[in-house]
Chain A
Amino acid sequence: MKKSIILTFTASLLLMMACLKNKELVEDTPTSIFEYVWNDFDQHYGGFEQRNVDWDAVYTQFAPRVNDNISDIELWNVLTEMMDLLDDQHVAITDTKTGKGFASGKLNDELLAEREFDLELIKTSYLAEDYQTLDSDGEDFVYGTIEGENIGYIHFPNFEEDVWQLEFDNVIAELSTTDGLIVDDRNNGGGIPLSARFASGRFAQTKELAFNVQSKNGPGPNDFDEKSPYYMEPQGAQQYTKPIVALCNHSTVSAGEEFLLYLKTQEHIQIVGDSTSNALATPTFKRMLPNAWHYQLPTQLYTVADGSSPEGIGIVPDVYLRNDTLNVQAGLDEVLEFGVELLK
């Protein structure tokens, strides 16, 4: 009897240990990683059609370059070239061993656009000296008035939650005596959609449908859940409803673009600048790979009231105007100056 108890313990232990097996979906080989990533995008990415990307053709193009003998660098090049075709900054991959990262569509026009905007130039050359700065996730949320004009100015560097939100109703109150307002959304790196909605509501005059969002709910290209409508509507203690010019550029990304979709619905707001980055859909959880890389992809689709989608295009301004990088270096912000002229 006693021996049988010990035997039972031992047998149970061995049985339990033997059962400890789980099946991985991806192995640490270039072929397996490539197939896993391609399939993941195929079944989850939300904007192939809007971006005119034939993902099956992408497989045909890139799969021949992958076998289990290629190096890490070669695999990295294949995956980043494949992702870059989507021109979507929410598509990104990182090597956690080296910290090397890549975001789709970032390498060319995005980096160029970043140099078309200089916040220090605006502070020193365009704003009255009493401008204020609040913290927004380590970046400067700046507000004040344009030097020599009764025109207000606000720059949103991002839409992360921080001090600026706590003070925002006071900012609107302070600027309420101005005749017009520049809302500068250039180089806005995005953040939390709820924050973009929070801010836009302070500029709302009427309630309007801004956009619809759908999320993938199956592997097929048209498997999306029901449309969730989002409305621009007045929020906060008071709203700024005098003429507004919103400025944007190709480095206005994500929640920064969502902010513009809200603003676009209002009669008293004009949008000036370059088309935005076109990375609207929220990226999903990071996907981890066995070679210590992780990547992300958006799984949603944004559409506006007429059924069209800003994916692949970005937010198109009412007035198209870009700064010249050399002019910015010389101390001139033509887009801002144009906005001020519109408000005069």
Chain B
Amino acid sequence: MKRYLLLLVIVCCVSHTLCGQTEDTKSKKKRKKNQERIAMAILKHRFSFKAGLFNERLVDETFSGILFQGVLPKYTLGYKHKKLRIELQSSTPNLDKTNIDFDNTFFPSTLLDAHLKIGLSKTFELDFTYGAKLNLGGQLHSQLMVLNYDNFDSGSWLTAQRLDVTARLEKHLRTRKEQWVHLDVSYPLFALASRPAYAGIDNFLVENSDDILKILYSRNDFYSGIGLVNPELTLTYFYKPVNYHDYTTFAEKLMLHLSLHYEYLYINSVKPLSRNSFGIELGLTYLWFK
């Protein structure tokens, strides 16, 4: 985690250096020309991939009364077309391999964390945002979280099918190179979620011990308001290393990005779960023009 914080600082410094250069008349003309070229092309699809490390801290009262923490690698695939946005994020899906060693305890455990988000949003241009655009919308959000200690000697889970409201503030930075900053916020309106029963293991689990999907996706309860608190905040910096020219080379269709992600999750089930997640991600986006 320390290495990534250091990397963040370096990237911030680099961006500061880039941003700090004085734009002369020549570069202004060049930029204007680029903008004209961009206007001629229509962005059809965006494909993205992100990889990051997330510092996870959680207390799941079904799993344990003690705090678990560890660093979890996550991978995200994204697709965007007009107002539609699809995002699939997961830590490793194989529970047999330890993907998170909680380092403050004697109980090395695994955490599988996966999300599928399908969102729609509408763009507004607002005067008070200094040229930034505001996107408002919603997303269907399917979440799967499974905690496992020692081949389920202890375990817990959260599966949720949610409707979230989303907002994005995006700002195009006017410099020699194309740069953007996005601030994404989301919050759940309601969810149908499945959590372990009061006693952790009950008859339903014993009877369905060979049908993990039935355990994870049956017996849903409705959560909303203070029963489900899950603000997510993502700050992303996009940088385009090669300016648009004629939209033919691979390099000019690529964007690099760096994201900071913070999420707090509290679900007030019969045994509450609270989780803090802070992550840093690096990624690539491929732009597909018509």
Contacts and interface: CB of A to CB of B under 8 A. Distances in A.
B203 A289 contact: no
B235 interface: yes
24 contacts: A6-B12, A6-B15, A9-B12, A10-B12, A12-B260, A12-B262, A19-B264, A21-B57, A22-B275, A24-B67, A25-B61, A96-B106, A96-B107, A215-B198, A217-B198, A217-B202, A225-B203, A282-B201, A282-B206, A285-B152, A287-B154, A289-B66, A294-B153, A294-B154
Interface string A1-40: 1110110111011011101111111100000000010000
B142 to A, nearest CB: 24
Interface in B200-218: 200-203, 206-207, 209-210
B16 A2 contact: yes
A69 interface: no
Given A9-B235, A12-B262, 15 more contacts: A1-B173, A8-B235, A16-B233, A17-B278, A19-B262, A19-B264, A21-B57, A22-B59, A22-B276, A25-B65, A96-B106, A97-B106, A228-B207, A283-B201, A285-B200
User: Binding site of A, secondary structure by majority: helix, strand, loop or mixed?
Assistant: mixed
A12 B276 contact: no
Given A16-B262, A215-B202, A290 B105 contact: yes
Interface string A207-229: 00000011111100001010010
A193 interface: yes
* B152, B202, B233: residue with the most chain A Cβ atoms closer than 10 Å: B202
Nearest to B109: A288
Interface of B: 5, 8, 12, 15-16, 19-20, 55, 57-59, 61-67, 105-107, 149-150, 152-156, 173, 181, 197-203, 206-207, 209-210, 233, 235, 237, 260, 262, 264, 274-276, 278
Contact of A20 (B55, B149, B199, B237): B55
Given A5-B15, A288-B105, A22 B274 contact: yes
Contacts of B276: 19-22
A2 B19 contact: yes
Nearest to A291: B106
Interface residues of A, number: 50
A299 B59 contact: no
B239 to A, nearest CB: 12
Contacts of B58: 22
A20 B61 CA distance: 18
A215 B203 contact: yes
Contacts of B5: 13
Contact of A225 (B63, B181, B202, B275): B202
Contacts of A22: 57-59, 67, 274-276
Contacts of B181: 5, 8
Contacts of A20: 55, 57, 276, 278
A290 B66 contact: yes
A233 to B, nearest CB: 15
B260 to A, nearest CB: 6
